[in-house]
Chain A
Amino acid sequence: EAQVTQNPRYLITVTGKKLTVTCSQNMNHEYMSWYRQDPGLGLRQIYYSMNVEVTDKGDVPEGYKVSRKEKRNFPLILESPSPNQTSLYFCASSFRNSPLHFGNGTRLTVT
């Protein structure tokens, strides 16, 4: 089954404790991206990648890192999480500008 898999679905952590949210897709998509969703603000792009070893900043990259060492994986790293990074996070993948396939989301709470 074609899918984008994010883990974990829920995560509660404390300020400053490094964490990684994993994202994997099995559709051989070149494009992958991360979004955060906050009430009233819609989906805002954090980082995107157009292929292996090619990443670029989206609209809200501060406080996040990504890597694209393999085509299928695109982890999101928070080196020192802060409470303002409490949000719902989505990973997505696609071929070029064709429709995005989203993962089921990761609800992160930073206390």
Chain B
Amino acid sequence: GQSLEQPSEVTAVEGAIVQINCTYQTSGFYGLSWYQQHDGGAPTFLSYNALDGLEETGRFSSFLSRSDSYGYLLLQELQMKDSASYFCAFPLGSNTGKLIFGQGTTLQVKP
């Protein structure tokens, strides 16, 4: 079947770097996305990887290895406002609205 696995919680200190991993199982792969959600709020898009390698967007980067069915989100220079839940997700086809999300990783940034 298709699924994504993420750690449920990660804790880090302000100013540090943290990596949130996502491993997936799928019969066909069409890219991996990352979303951020502050407590109870709307998820917002962070990053997308269709090919292997690193995508950088400011303090956030996302990495993908299709051969390992693995990706991660890297957050640098952590700030208190980065405390949130982070979800990885992938579509089940190249032209489908069917999307699967991981269960989410809650990041707590401590002073």
B98 and A58 contacting across the interface, CB-CB below 8 Å: yes
Please name all residues of chain B whose beta carbon is closer than 8 Å to the beta carbon of A104 when the two chains form the complex.
41-42
Secondary structure call for the B interface? loop
B87 and A43 contacting across the interface, CB-CB below 8 Å: yes
A42 and B42 contacting across the interface, CB-CB below 8 Å: no
Q: Could you tell me the distance in whole angstroms from the C-beta of A79 to the nearest C-beta in chain B?
A: 23
A97 and B94 contacting across the interface, CB-CB below 8 Å: yes
B30 and A44 contacting across the interface, CB-CB below 8 Å: no
Q: A43-B87, A104-B42 are in contact. Are A99 and B48 (CB under 8 A)?
A: yes
A97 and B42 contacting across the interface, CB-CB below 8 Å: no
Please name all residues of chain A whose beta carbon is closer than 8 Å to the beta carbon of B40 when the two chains form the complex.
88, 105, 107
| B11-28 interface bits toward A, Cβ cutoff 8 Å, 1 = contact, 0 = none | 000000000000000000
Beta-carbon nearest neighbor of A44 in chain B: B101
Tell me which of B42, B95, B100 has the highest count of chain A C-beta atoms within 10 A of its own C-beta: B42
Q: Which of A35, A50, A58, A97 contacts B30 (CB 8 A)?
A: A97
